Amino acid sequence: MDSLATTISRWEVRKALEKLTKEVRDTYDETMKRIEGQIEGDRKLAEQVLSWIIHAYRQLSLEELRHALAVSAEMTKMEPDALVDETILTSVCAGLVVVDQQSGLVHLVRK
């Protein structure tokens, strides 16, 4: 669906719709290729976000995820400047990650 966002004419929309895959697996594979094709910093951040979400014992809130991603071995205290913005966290994941605006929980687009 993200590919539709870059279309500028009806013709381009029709062409993009023709290319959309019918199978969910193909869609996820295509999304993962987009993630892998990003610049290194964005790709690594997306991998970390997905890893935290997939391996967490329970669903994480946006703030918990932001803090988990901000922690590094060199830190002796939490640095507010190390917190990544919600928009960046979700955008680098190419549509796979969403934040529930009511609960503040972060999860994969398909729970």
- What is the signed CA dihedral for 55, 61, 66, 71, rounded to 10 degrees? -60
Domain total for the chain?
1
Q: Which two tokens stand for residue 12?
A: 């381009």
Q: How many residues does the chain have?
A: 111
Range of the domain at 102: 2-108
pTM: 0.73
Q: Which has more pLDDT, 57 or 2?
A: 57
Give tens-digit pLDDT for 36-92: 999 999 999 999 999 999 999 999 999 999 999 998 767 677 788 889 999 999 999
In sequence order, the β-bridge partners of residue 97 are 108
Query: Per-residue pLDDT for 107 more than 80?
Result: yes
Average pLDDT over residues 84-109: 93
Decide if 96 contacts 50 (C-beta within 8 A).
yes
At 3-18, the pLDDT tens digits run: 666 667 777 777 777 7
